[in-house]
């Protein structure tokens, strides 16, 4: 598995497996086991996904050494504060049945992110987290976090797909040593992604699926990607992207698909902020 070195020197796999919306306990556990057996070493969950226990169970059943796995989880909004972050992190660690996590992210850019970040800096210093980062932060929010804290985020996990390419945000992050990580690389199939003529034509050229083309495009931009599936054959397909390379012309064709608009919602939409900040979970 190809890796990227984060700004604190630790290595992170460039291809990962996510478990968002895997609410069936048995299915989630089996999917993580299948993903590890398919070659994935980066497993991404979150307190708000409410499946950390299942991920932990799957990790325990794995024959892969803990130091070969890269486990990410995230802090949910209701505990985005100094004390809240410390308490919720310990609960996540217990659910995952681990001694440490490789990456811990502030899931949303709201609440007392500075207090939560200071708590995460301390947890990192204590050896309970190897790298700390954020999710869904626009560059202006990243700049604010960096200006008033000691540790620069190692990762920012954001939506990246052919229709929302983050063409300004990604270079800005990379210039500050922040590793971009893509959630929803397939835009959940919105805008006819899997049937898009540009993507299907490129896939036919290389004998690859549209999904493989998209993941390879993300990979060649130096972005970590998180693919999600409960089907083992699709997991194996999604990880098999290292045996071809998109030409500069193909990369430009995909760049031309950008709409600079989320396939889902804007994190700057007041109505969405109100909904997210009001979402209280038993985590």
Q: Is the dihedral of CA 44, 49, 52, 57 positive or negative?
A: negative
Phi, psi (deg, nearest 5) at residue 208 = -125, 160
149's tokens: 């804290």
Please classify residue 150 by burial: count the beta carbons closer than 10 Å to its beta carbon, then call 0-12 exposed, 13-18 middle and 19+ buried: exposed
Spatial separation of the C-alpha atoms in residues 77 and 64, rounded to whole Å:
32
E strand intervals along the chain: 3-5, 11-13, 15-18, 42-44, 70-75, 101-106, 129-135, 155-159, 179-183, 224-227
274's tokens: 């109100």
Determine the distance from the C-alpha atom of residue 185 to the mean position of all C-alpha atoms in its chain, rounded to a whole number.
10
- Greatest alpha-carbon pair distance for the chain in Å reads 53
Q: Which of 40, 49, 104, 219 is catalytic?
A: 49
Q: 179-183 and 70-75 as β-strands: parallel, antiparallel, unpaired?
A: unpaired
Please classify residue 243 by burial: count the beta carbons closer than 10 Å to its beta carbon, then call 0-12 exposed, 13-18 middle and 19+ buried: exposed
Please classify residue 65 by burial: count the beta carbons closer than 10 Å to its beta carbon, then call 0-12 exposed, 13-18 middle and 19+ buried: exposed
- Is 107 annotated as ligand-binding? yes
49 is catalytic: yes
80's tokens: 């985005």
Known binding residues are 107
Known binding residues for substrate are 107
Q: Which residues are catalytic?
A: 49
């Amino acid at each position: 598995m190809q890796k990227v070195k984060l700004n604190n020197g630790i290595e992170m796999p460039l291809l990962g497996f996510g478990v968002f919306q895997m609410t069936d306990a048995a299915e989630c556990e089996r999917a993580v086991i299948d993903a590890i057996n398919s070659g994935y070493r980066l497993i991404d969950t979150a307190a708000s996904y409410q499946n950390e226990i299942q991920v932990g169970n799957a990790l325990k059943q794995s024959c892969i050494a803990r130091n070969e796995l890269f486990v990410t989880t995230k802090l949910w909004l209701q505990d985005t504060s100094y004390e809240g972050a410390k308490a919720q992190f310990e609960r996540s660690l217990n659910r995952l049945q681990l001694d440490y996590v490789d990456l811990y992210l502030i899931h949303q850019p709201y609440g007392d992110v500075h207090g939560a970040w200071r708590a995460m800096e301390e947890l990192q210093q204590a050896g309970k987290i190897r790298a700390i980062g954020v999710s869904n932060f626009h560059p202006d929010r990243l700049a604010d976090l960096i200006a008033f804290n000691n540790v620069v985020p190692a990762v920012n996990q954001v939506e990246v797909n052919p229709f929302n390419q983050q063409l300004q945000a990604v270079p800005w992050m990379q210039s500050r040593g922040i590793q971009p990580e893509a959630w929803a690389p397939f835009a959940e199939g919105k805008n006819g992604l899997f049937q898009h003529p540009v993507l299907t034509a490129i896939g036919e050229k290389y004998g690859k699926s549209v999904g493989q083309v998209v993941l390879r495009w993300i990979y060649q931009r130096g972005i970590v990607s998180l693919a999600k599936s409960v089907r083992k054959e699709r997991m194996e397909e999604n990880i098999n992207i290292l045996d071809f390379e998109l030409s500069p012309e193909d990369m430009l064709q995909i760049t031309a698909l950008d709409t600079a608009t989320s396939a889902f919602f804007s994190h700057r939409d007041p109505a969405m902020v109100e909904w997210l900040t009001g979402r209280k979970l038993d985590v």
